[in-house]
Amino acid sequence: MTPITLIAQSLTRERQRTGMSLGEVARRAGIAKSTLSQLEAGNGNPSLETLWSLCVALNIPFARLMEPEISKMQVIRRGEGPSVTAEQADYQAILLATCPPGARRDIYLLTTQPGSERLSNPHSPGSVEHIIITQGKALVGLSGSPVELSAGDYICYPADEEHVFRALEADTMALLISEQN
């Protein structure tokens, strides 16, 4: 998916979430209604300033424009995902997830070995886990449909359902971010 397509979908989704009309969002952002209409249709090449103005008008963080609509489970392979590249340095940031308003996040470094599967019972309603494999391989996700991940891969799944983590290689390491609303 191209960045403009992702931005178009996000703008439409966020505007509809607020219940505001095209005209109202455009007025609050200080842009023409036709410009916003074109952006929501996936046309144009918006400036950073225009996108920031729209974020302020919609009361959303800038990163939300680069987020695809979240499904129950999300996997991002190394090198994939919406990214921004710096002009003056060899630096690329790939957005994996944002924190919803009012959520709490705990971050853990996991060190695991093959042979013992970690089966977790459902956590509190609305809980979500994010895992990035930093070394090795593992089978991770909902117990009925785990996904094999390698170093650099990311997965997000609802932790209020039974889920599993099983190392497939010795000394597999992962970053676990547990999010509770």
Report angle CA 101, 127, 120 to the nearest 5 degrees: 160
Q: How many CA atoms lie within 13 A of 174 on its CB side?
A: 28
Q: Report the CATH architecture of 3-66.
A: Orthogonal Bundle (1.10)
pTM: 0.54
Domain boundaries, the chain: 3-66, 71-181
Pairwise CA distance, residues 7 & 58, whole Å: 13
**Angstrom distance (rounded) from CA 10 to CA 62:** 11
Segment 58-102, tens digit of pLDDT: 988 887 887 776 556 778 887 777 776 666 656 565 667 766 666
Mean pLDDT across 154-175: 93
Fold type of domain 71-181: Jelly Rolls (2.60.120)
